[in-house]
């Protein structure tokens, strides 16, 4: 059984993420790699050259522990608690689903919450949202077969659904280092 509500219901709390120096360095290093790659292409992508095409994106996931409650900032070690795992070890293209294509992000919080399934078997599991700074780099779109495209060289991310006004509703980041968590939004049970 799964509770398939489309949104958060009520927000329990919002936490600011304090990234380690090393995580920040890796993120900036990744930006530089994307910029260098872009500078070697015949077709110029001004945003890639400027800042690696940085965007603010949402990643829907789940949390199991009481992170942030009573001012506690210690991360738990439960393998069901995706928020703590991501904050501890970073994103993983393997764990963050989609058949290993990439880390799934959305342009709206609603779509991010919709993408998360919470199963009744784990009574303390609830939806959470990680607001991330993302180096989107060169975006491949439109998308026909994501599994074929993932193997193609030269792109840093893949657009899933593209909305009206061509904003990218769904974006898969091919490299987990392209994401830097900034805030965590935790929903009430």
Dist CA 3 CA 14 (whole Å): 22
Kindly state whether residue 146 participates in binding Zn ion, applying the rule CB under 5 A.
no
Kindly state whether residue 97 participates in binding Zn ion, applying the rule CB under 5 A.
no
Which stretch in 75-83, 111-119, 124-132, 167-175 sits in contact with Zn ion by CB under 5 A? 75-83
User: Cα-Cα-Cα-Cα dihedral of 33, 144, 99, 113, to 10°?
Assistant: 90
Kindly state whether residue 84 participates in binding Zn ion, applying the rule CB under 5 A.
yes
Secondary structure letter of residue 164 according to DSSP: G
Q: Rounded to the nearest whole angstrom, what is the least distance from the CB of residue 111 to Zn ion in the complex?
A: 24
Q: Which of 15, 17, 76, 97 binds Zn ion (CB under 5 A)?
A: 76
Q: Rounded to the nearest whole angstrom, what is the least distance from the CB of residue 48 to Zn ion in the complex?
A: 35
Q: Do 146 and 137 touch, CB atoms closer than 8 A?
A: no
Q: Rounded to the nearest whole angstrom, what is the least distance from the CB of residue 64 to Zn ion in the complex?
A: 6
Q: Which of 8, 38, 65, 149 binds Zn ion (CB under 5 A)?
A: 65
Dist CA 156 CA 176 (whole Å): 10
Peptide bond before 60: cis, by omega within 30 degrees of 0?
no
Which stretch in 62-70, 118-126, 155-163, 174-182 sits in contact with Zn ion by CB under 5 A? 62-70
The tally of CA atoms less than 13 A away on the side-chain side of residue 128 is 30
Q: Do 132 and 87 touch, CB atoms closer than 8 A?
A: no
Q: Rounded to the nearest whole angstrom, what is the least distance from the CB of residue 141 to Zn ion in the complex?
A: 34
Which stretch in 30-38, 79-87, 97-105, 163-171 sits in contact with Zn ion by CB under 5 A? 79-87
Kindly state whether residue 81 participates in binding Zn ion, applying the rule CB under 5 A.
yes
Q: Is 109 exposed, middle or buried (0-12, 13-18, 19+ CB in 10 A)?
A: middle
Comparison of 80 and 133: residue with beta carbon closer to Zn ion: 80
Q: Rounded to the nearest whole angstrom, what is the least distance from the CB of residue 65 to Zn ion in the complex?
A: 3
Which helix (H) or strand (E) is 181 found in, with range?
Answer: strand 179-187
Q: Do 138 and 38 touch, CB atoms closer than 8 A?
A: yes
Which stretch in 22-30, 58-66, 92-100, 116-124 sits in contact with Zn ion by CB under 5 A? 58-66
Name the residues that contact Zn ion, by CB under 5 A.
Answer: 65, 76, 81, 84
């Amino acid at each position: 059984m799964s509770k398939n509500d489309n949104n958060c219901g009520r927000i329990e709390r919002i936490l600011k993420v304090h990234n380690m120096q090393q995580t920040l360095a890796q993120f900036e290093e990744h930006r530089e790699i994307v910029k260098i790659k872009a500078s070697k292409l015949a077709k110029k992508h001004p945003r890639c050259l400027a800042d690696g095409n940085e965007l603010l994106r949402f990643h829907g996931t789940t949390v199991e522990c009481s992170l942030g409650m009573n001012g506690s900032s210690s991360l738990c070690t439960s393998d069901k608690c995706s928020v703590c795992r991501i904050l501890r070890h970073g994103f993983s293209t393997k764990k963050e689903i989609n058949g290993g294509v990439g880390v799934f992000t959305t342009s709206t919080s609603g779509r991010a919450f919709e993408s998360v399934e919470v199963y009744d078997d784990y009574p303390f599991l609830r939806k959470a949202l990680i607001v991330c700074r993302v180096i989107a780099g060169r975006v491949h779109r439109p998308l026909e077969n994501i599994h074929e495209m993932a193997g193609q060289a030269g792109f840093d991310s893949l657009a899933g659904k593209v909305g009206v006004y061509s904003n990218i509703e769904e974006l898969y980041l091919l490299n987990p280092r392209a994401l830097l968590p900034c805030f965590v939004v935790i929903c009430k049970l």
